[in-house]
Amino acid sequence: MAHLFVVDSADFLFLFRHTGLTWGNLSSHMRKLEAGGYIAVEKEFLDKKPHTMVRLTDAGRNAFIEYRKRMQQILEAIPNV
């Protein structure tokens, strides 16, 4: 979701390369995020090859913003050593 937050959309290969996940693991995560309404997946064919585009939905964008806020609060609560 962090990668999708900073772009309008990304294709599966971009996400695969930037997340370091396996094909199956990334597909599994995408299915769950899509089922939750956090991402929209668009499948098409380019030059007879499957091409999958992914984008954050408004709900996904808002959920990620809230996640970042909560993570910042947790990190700020950790005492400096």
Angle at 5 between CA 15 and CA 45, to 5 degrees: 45
**pLDDT tens across 20-78, in order?**
999 999 999 999 999 999 999 999 998 999 999 999 999 999 999 999 999 999 999 99
Q: How far apart are CA 72 and CA 49, in angstroms?
A: 41
- For the chain, how many structural domains are there in total? 1
Amino acid in the structure at residue 14 = F
Spell out the SS3 assignment of 10-56. EEHHHHHHHHCCCHHHHHHHHHHHHHCCCEEEEEEEECCEEEEEEEE
- Location of structure tokens 């050593």: 81
Q: What is the pTM of this model?
A: 0.85
CATH number of the structural domain spanning residue 18: 1.10.10.10
The parent domain of residue 28 ranges over 2-77
